[in-house]
Chain A
Amino acid sequence: MAGAAYGQLNLEESPSWGSRSVECFEKLEQIGEGTYGQVYMAREIKTGEIVALKKIRMDNEKEGFPITAIREIKILKKLQHENVIKLKEIVTSSGPEVDEHGKSGGHKYKGSIYMVFEYMDHDLTGLSDRPGLRFTIPQIKCYMRQLLTGLHYCHVNQVLHRDIKGSNLLIDNEGNLKLADFGLARSYSTDHKGNLTNRVITLWYRPPELLLGATRYGPSVDMWSVGCIFAELLHGKPILTGKNEPEQLNKIYELCGSPDEINWPGVSRTPWYSKFKPSRQMKRRVRDVFRHFDRNALELLEKMLTLDPSQRISAKDALDAEYFWTDPLPCDPKSLPKYESSHEFQTKKKRQQQRQNEEMAKRQKVQHPQQHTRLPPVQQSGQPQPQHWAGGHNNHPMGNNPGQPPLTAGGPSHHQYGKPRAAGPNRYPPGGNPNPTVGGGGYYPDRSAGQGGVGFSGGPYPPQPRAPGVSGPRGSSGGYAPPNYTQNVPYGGGSGAGGGGGGGGRGPNVGGNRNQPYSWQQQ
């Protein structure tokens, strides 16, 4: 008995203890790849159940099991909720050395570790970007309500998600929405001394207090992101699309007004208030820009996009908002249409083909006006929908959702999750776009390539002409999304093959490759 491989020993000793081997799963398809490791769609052999396996990359770890992995596992094991992704188990594969020598003591642990998640078909961004797909108002309410319910649960349990964005909201074909990717999440306590990093949350969804350098913050940071998603769903496209921190802040000011001691008491004491002081006073124009939203939606949005975090609505109060209790009511998730699984990454060859098609299309349609991929929700009121692009040179028809990875336009493609957390406030770049979270690439070129005029056309909101860098290698394929917008890779891993497209023309620091819900974080 002595000297048996400890893996074997586990099985003999107590089947309920110790982790199972990854051999219990049959890998079906790699659905993501990044420098952090791979994500696979897999079938459990015994039950036939489809799962997602996310590999925890272990080599080059000077400090053993990554602390970020420990955080994520601790949090996921703690959170059990229908709107939070379920970590089913952790499985290991024993490395060759253990197999060969079979002894437990003193051998190098070469095995890999995988987190096993329930499999989800889509993510919110991927779904909303499907060509021709329109969400209905009850559907948006349904998703929003699930998002808020899941988030409220996290907040009650003192967990900040810190990376709420469409690609981290997974949706299954039952219409259920679940929060995923807790790679940046942190437990917090109300009496916490602070000193949380402000380098979290994908730029477009990052609240003003973080941009102003706050290191003491709470659940309200997530609520700002929810507000951005809410507006995005109704508006048909992302609303605050800065390329770097100063620009992001400026966009926020342009929409929500510039902060002062009246609308945000204490703002002048934030670390970088004076550094990012707006050149002129700006008025809040949320109601103006989004005047096409219905009254209750606008009212809720106003409360979410409140500059002062202490006045921002909580998830709990948002659930009680009039919006969710007036007709049309949120629909039952089960009544939602079932969409074909949007896993283009499963068909790499097809992707290549599509890419060629796209190139063709691009050449043919250079002069055509830009069309937006997303359609605004089906509005009952028949209000005008100002969803047209303000202009710009995006000329690629978005219909054929090509699935090839964007080329790396700039920035390393490696996964950089660890950075935002690790970086102290002092490392905040004074401006420009040297964001370590740059990178990230989508699989969907139409999202990751240049963005053409992100303005709220027709509205007073100033259009944002695209930076010249837009036309990266494939930039001309248009689209409005920065790299983080990689959608449809619900199990993450997009950063490898498709990754790294941080630079040229996309929002450079949009949180980098943190677009994989299950992606792994590296130190």
Chain B
Amino acid sequence: MIQDMHQSIEIIYLILSPFFKLFRHKKKKTCAFHPHRRYNLSSAFSLPSPPLPRWCSVPPSHTTGNSKKWRNFCAFLPATMATDFWTSTHYKQLLDQEDVDVVHSLDKERGITLEDFKLIKLHMTNYIVRLAQNVKVRQRVVATAVTYMRRAYTRRSMVEYDPRLVAPTCLYLASKAEESTVQARLLVFYIKKLYADEKYRYEIKEILEMEMKILEALNYYLVVFHPYRALSQLLQDAGMSDATQMIWGLINDTYKMDLILIYPPHLIALACIYVASMFKDKDNTSWFEQLRVDMNMVEKIATEILDFYDYHKTISEEKVNAAMLKLTMRM
């Protein structure tokens, strides 16, 4: 089971591996990016460039008769008009790696290590993907579901919130939040079909109850921004439309890590483009230079992605099973 879930990742790894060394080598060269320089990114991502002209900060005069002076409707409007990623709860909730990598005390008691913790989350990501393929929902729903699951486990323990229930519940909730509702009974049907293991079998009622707990764990913050947003525009802009599929796959794989909890999604997308351009041996230096983004960050994420692919080779089904077993074991 683990193996077939790893298939996509293996393929990507096989494609990528011959060039990893090349990449790491090249990376030094590309440090032409000035670390602190702000690059100017096209409108594809709503970057923190103040989206609003400052005229908005001038309050209207209610008393003066000289209305022409303020003849700009915008005088009514607050300084920040459009809500976007930068005003979103997603942005405000971005965490540091250290905060994400905290194993809940209850889980520690069961002997869950940080590696187990990550493995279980990876395993559950694969579970969500697999379930989603059966109930046929958009990738966006999968991405949101995985994000909910990972967010939930920054605050909740796996002992109390059984991942085998949390995963389908997150998919269920995400399907609603992303406007492509999947019926709970359909999920339950496929869970039964996919997993013979009793431990995976949960009923509709249990999913609905867990939904409330997940909502609470998420503090009802349901909006998630994803790296897929405007990806095609970016790729077109970079002249990399031919690599769309590969980059899409790379982005999908980033959900097997906690990147979405830590970095702004556009940087994750750019990191994937970065990895892909290295692989395609396409010199995108000048394109990246135009972007008003922190290239150090992009490179950092790219390295994390590559490290993950390296690490991924070492994962075995036994390891995952052992980690899952710790959860079930009564101390």
* A residues neighboring B (CB under 8 Å): 1-2, 6, 9-10, 13-14, 17-19, 58, 61-65, 67, 70, 73-74, 77-82, 90, 92, 104-109, 111, 113, 145, 149, 152-153, 156-157, 316, 319-320, 324-327, 329-332, 335
CA distance A432 to B129 in the complex (A): 48
Cross-interface CB contact of A332 among B63, B160, B161, cutoff 8 Å: B63
When distances are taken between beta carbons in the complex, the residues of chain A under 8 Å from B215 are 65
Q: Which chain B residue has the least Cβ–Cβ distance from A65?
A: B211
**Closest Cβ–Cβ distance, residue A177 to chain B (whole Å):** 12
B216 touches A18 (CB 8 A): yes
A78 to B173, CA, bound (A): 18
CA of A14 to CA of B102, assembled, Å: 13
Shortest beta-carbon distance, A65 to chain B, in Å? 6
Q: Using Cβ atoms and an 8 Å threshold, which residues of chain A touch B205?
A: 108
Any chain A CB within 8 A of the CB of B81? yes
- Our pick among A65, A79, A81, A330 for the contact of B176 (Cβ within 8 Å) is A65
Q: Could you tell me if A78 and B176 are in contact, using CB atoms closer than 8 angstroms?
A: no
For the complex of A and B, list the 4 residue pairs with the smallest distance between their C-beta atoms, beginning with the closest: A319-B73, A332-B62, A64-B208, A320-B73
Q: List 19 A-B contacts (CB under 8 A).
A: A6-B160, A17-B217, A19-B216, A58-B212, A63-B181, A65-B173, A74-B222, A77-B220, A78-B83, A80-B83, A104-B161, A109-B212, A113-B212, A145-B76, A157-B81, A319-B73, A320-B71, A331-B62, A332-B62
Which residues does chain A contribute within 8 Å of B82, judged by CB atoms? Answer: 156-157
**Complex contacts, A152 vs chain B, CB 8 Å:** 77
Query: CB-defined interface of B85-127 with A at 8 Å, one 1/0 digit per residue?
Result: 0011100000000000000011001000000000000000000
Expressed in whole angstroms, the minimum distance between the Cβ of A67 and any Cβ of chain B is 5
Q: Is the CB of A329 within 8 A of B67?
A: yes
Q: Which one of A10, A316, A327, A331 contacts B216 once the chains associate, using CB atoms below 8 Å?
A: A10
- Please name all residues of chain A whose beta carbon is closer than 8 Å to the beta carbon of B77 when the two chains form the complex: 149, 152-153
Whether the Cβ atoms of A18 and B68 lie closer than 8 Å is: no
- Residue total for B at the interface (Cβ-Cβ under 8 A): 48
Contact of A2 among B71, B106, B172 (CB under 8 A): B106
Q: Are B67's CB and A18's CB within 8 A?
A: no
CB distance from A148 to the nearest CB of B (A): 8
Most A CB contacts (10 A, CB to CB) among B78, B161, B216 go to: B216
B162 within 8 A of A: yes
- Residue of A19, A156, A329 near B219 (CB, 8 A) is A19
Instruction: Kindly identify which residue among B71, B81, B88, B209 contacts A107, using a CB–CB cutoff of 8 Å.
Output: B209
**Given known A63-B183, A319-B73, contact A2–B177 (CB-CB < 8 A):** no
Instruction: Kindly supply a per-residue 1/0 record for chain B positions 269-283, scoring 1 wherever the CB is within 8 Å of any chain A CB and 0 otherwise.
Output: 000000000000000
Contacts from B to A (Cβ < 8 Å): 62-63, 65, 67-68, 71-73, 76-78, 81-83, 87-89, 105-106, 109, 155, 159-162, 172-173, 176-177, 181, 183-184, 205-209, 211-213, 215-217, 219-223
| Complex Cα–Cα for A80 and B89 (A) | 12
Q: Is the CB of B67 within 8 A of A326?
A: yes
Complex contacts, A113 vs chain B, CB 8 Å: 212
Would A105 and B62 be within 8 Å (CB), given that A17-B155, A74-B223 are in contact? no
Q: Given the complex of chains A and B, what is the CA–CA distance between A316 and B67 in angstroms?
A: 17
Return A31 CB to nearest CB of chain B, in Å: 23
List the A side residues contacting B83 at CB < 8 Å: 78-80, 157
Q: Is the CB of A104 within 8 A of B223?
A: no
B173 to chain A, nearest CB (A): 7
Within 8 Å by CB of B155, from A18, A58, A104, A335, lies: A18
Chain A residues, CB < 8 A from B89: 77
Q: CB-CB < 8 A to B71: which residues of A?
A: 320, 325
Q: A18-B216, A65-B211, A65-B215 are in contact. Are A74 and B177 (CB under 8 A)?
A: yes
Q: Which residues of B contact A18 (CB under 8 A)?
A: 155, 216-217, 219
* Chain A residue at minimal CB-CB distance from B76: A149
A74 partner residues in chain B, CB cutoff 8 A: 177, 222-223
> A275 CA to B312 CA in the complex, in Å?
63
Rounded to whole Å, the gap between the CB of B207 and the closest CB of chain A is 7
Give complex CA distance A470, B263 in Å: 62
Task: With CB as the reference atom, state the residue of chain A lying closest to B70.
Answer: A325
Contacts of B183 in A (CB 8 A): 63
**Chain A residues, Cβ within 8 Å of B106:** 1-2
CA distance A335 to B61 in the complex (A): 13
Set of chain A residues within 8 Å of B173, measured between Cβ atoms: 64-65, 70
A327 touches B65 (CB 8 A): yes
**A105 adjacent to B88 (CB under 8 Å):** no
Complex-state Cα separation, A330 to B211, whole angstroms: 47
Assembled-state Cα–Cα distance A106/B184 (Å): 17
Give the chain A neighbours of B223 by CB distance below 8 A.
74, 77-78
Residue picked from B160, B161, B221, B223, most chain A C-beta under 10 Å: B160
**Closest beta carbon of chain B to A322's beta carbon, Å:** 10
Closest Cβ–Cβ distance, residue A147 to chain B (whole Å)? 11
Given contacts A14-B155, A63-B181, contact A108 B222 (CB under 8 A): no
Residue of A107, A109, A325 with most chain B CB atoms under a 10 A cut-off:
A109
CA distance A125 to B216 in the complex (A): 36
How far is the CB of A105 from the nearest CB of chain B, in Å? 6
**What separation, in Å, do the CA atoms of A326 and B62 have in the docked complex?**
12
A6 touches B213 (CB 8 A): yes
| B211–A64 CB distance below 8 A | yes
Report the Cα distance A448→B211, complex, angstroms: 40
Q: Shortest CB–CB separation between residue B24 and chain A, in angstroms? A: 39
Complex Cα–Cα for A121 and B215 (A): 31
Cα–Cα distance between A332 and B60 once the two chains are bound (Å): 9
* Docked pose: A78 CA to B105 CA in angstroms: 33
Contacts A2-B109, A90-B220, A332-B62; A109 near B67 (Cβ below 8 A): no
The answer for the CA separation of A109 and B169 in the assembled complex, in Å, is: 14
- Quick one: which of B87, B160, B184 contacts A105, CB cutoff 8 A? B160
Given A73-B222, A109-B213, residue A80 in contact with residue B87 (CB < 8 A) = yes
